[in-house]
Structure 1
């Protein structure tokens, strides 16, 4: 992620002694994303070296973070390929670093697949369905902090920066989603802990084999269908037009459905939820673009990408989930 908080090896000399990992011997900032400060961390214990990811959290506090890290631990214990948080000597997963919450997690093997083919999308669909089921008995509760309430609160902050036409478009879509969230169909959608940010750069592959997913720091309790829509809107589109690629959509949805069949309510809600997923990221990118925070390495994403996807989802009917029954 972007580096908002500078960390050096000297900073870690004493700090690392609380973890059973040995000495920090290399540290490199990760310059992607815009939410937290992330670093590749190399440790040495005796003759053995190991690699981890160190995260300093810029927006989440000590009370919020146990949900994310305990969820990752819960999933890892059930065989879902996610980074495992490393506890310190007294069992804490979140500890202060430069006055901010910080955590160390294991580093996944492989690399991100930025040009996904149907075979990669099928792997993602299977993993996402397994993740939803594995998290269904997770006891902690925390809402999706970038859900409807955040959309409603953030829209007035970005409206002054938009053209009149785009301001009207954004206002109308938030109104549509507010009404849909109050509908009987929405109330019937299966819910549970969701990743909520399963983009291409958050999943690792070795060849065609998925080796894991990471960055759970937007996770929260929401509808499983929203999580699926977020994933499809990134993995299964033409990046230039925002249009859905049929082969990739078919591969991802069919593999998901093979693990967890869709409900009738989900079939009805599919297109509104694809719109909701596009709105969430259009709005967050507008906010990050027009109300930025300073960081050593900060690259705000282009808001027009998800505006284009949202307009495409409204204009073009999505394939029904019933087609995959």
Structure 2
């Protein structure tokens, strides 16, 4: 992610002695995203060099982080393909570096698939369903920190920057989502830990083989359907217009449904939830664009992308869940 906290190899040399890993020989900042400081960390282990990911958390606290790191460990232990957090010699997954919480996780194989085809979407759908089921017995609870409460707190901060048309869109959609969140159908939706940010750049592939989901630091407890909606809104669209690609949507939803069947309540809630997924990321991109933070490497995402998607979800019915 964007490098907010500079770290050198010298900084890491002493710090890493508390981990049962080996000698660090290279450190490189990862220049994408806007939430945490991430680095590739090469560690010498005998005759081999193993690569890990070092993350310094810029916004999440020591108190919040156990939910995320222990969730990743929980999922990895149940054969869900995610990075495995590494504990230090005291069994701690989160330790301080430059006064901020930090963690080391294993690095996934492969690369992000930025031009997905139906076969890739099917892999994502099936793994997402397995992830949801694997999280059913996860004991920790933490709400989605970018859920409705955050939308309500953020809307007045971005409204003054918007055109009349976009301000109207935001007010109307917020009213719609508040009513939707209070309805009986919403209360029937299945809930549990969700990734909540499963974009193309947060999934790794080796050819057509999915090798893992990563970047769980927006995860929380929410409806599983919200997770599906966020995923479809990125994996299954024409990027220029936000229009859904029916073949990719069908592949992702059918693969998910084959592992964890959708419910009738989820079918009813599908279109509103696609709108909710678009609204969440329109709001966060507006906030990052108009309230930027300093960083060594930082490029805020274009808010108009999710404005287009939201308008498209309001105007056009999506393919049904099943």
* TM-score bracket, shorter-length normalisation: over 0.9
Q: Secondary structure at the match of 1:135?
A: helix
Q: Which blocks of at least 5 consecutive residues in structure 1 are unaligned?
A: none
Q: TM-score, structure 1 length as denominator?
A: 0.98
1-structure distance, mates of 2:165, 2:47: 62
1:207-218 equivalence runs, <5 A: 207-218=207-218
Q: Does 1:51 align with 2:43?
A: no
The corresponding residue for 1:20 is: 20
Q: Which runs of 4+ in 1 moved over 6 A?
A: none
Q: How many residues of Structure 1 are paired with residues of Structure 2 in the alignment?
A: 322
Supply the RMSD in Å over aligned alpha carbons: 0.5
Output aligned runs, 1:293-308, within 5 Å. Answer: 293-308=293-308
Corresponding position of 1:310: 310
Q: Is the 8 A contact 2:9 2:25 kept in 1?
A: yes
Q: How does 1:1-325 map to 2 (within 5 A)?
A: 1-321=1-321, 324=322
Give, in whole Å, the separation in 2 of the partners of 1:212 and 1:46.
Answer: 26
Q: Supply the distance in 1 between the matched residues of 2:4 and 2:302 (Cα, whole angstroms).
A: 20
Deviations 1:225-269 (A, max 9, x none): 000000000000000010000000000000000001111100000
Structure 1 Cα separation of the partners of residues 299 and 41 of structure 2 = 22
Alpha-carbon contact 2:25-2:43 (below 8 Å) kept:
yes
Shift of 1:47: 2.1
Unmatched 5+ stretches in structure 2: none
Deviates more, 1:41-50 or 1:181-190: 41-50
CA shift, 1:105, in A, is 0.1
The Cα shift of 1:175 comes to: 1.1
CA distance in 1, matches of 2:38, 2:54: 6
SS in structure 1 at match of 2:136 = coil
CA distance in 1, matches of 2:44, 2:198: 31
SS in 1 for 2:52: strand
TM-score (norm 2): 0.99
How much has 1:24 moved relative to structure 2? 1.0
Following superposition, the deviation at residue 217 of structure 1 comes to 0.1
Q: Which shows bigger deviation, 123-132 or 46-55?
A: 46-55
Query: Hey, what's the Cα distance between the residues in 1 that align with 2:118 and 2:6?
Result: 40
- Give the match's secondary structure for 2:286: helix
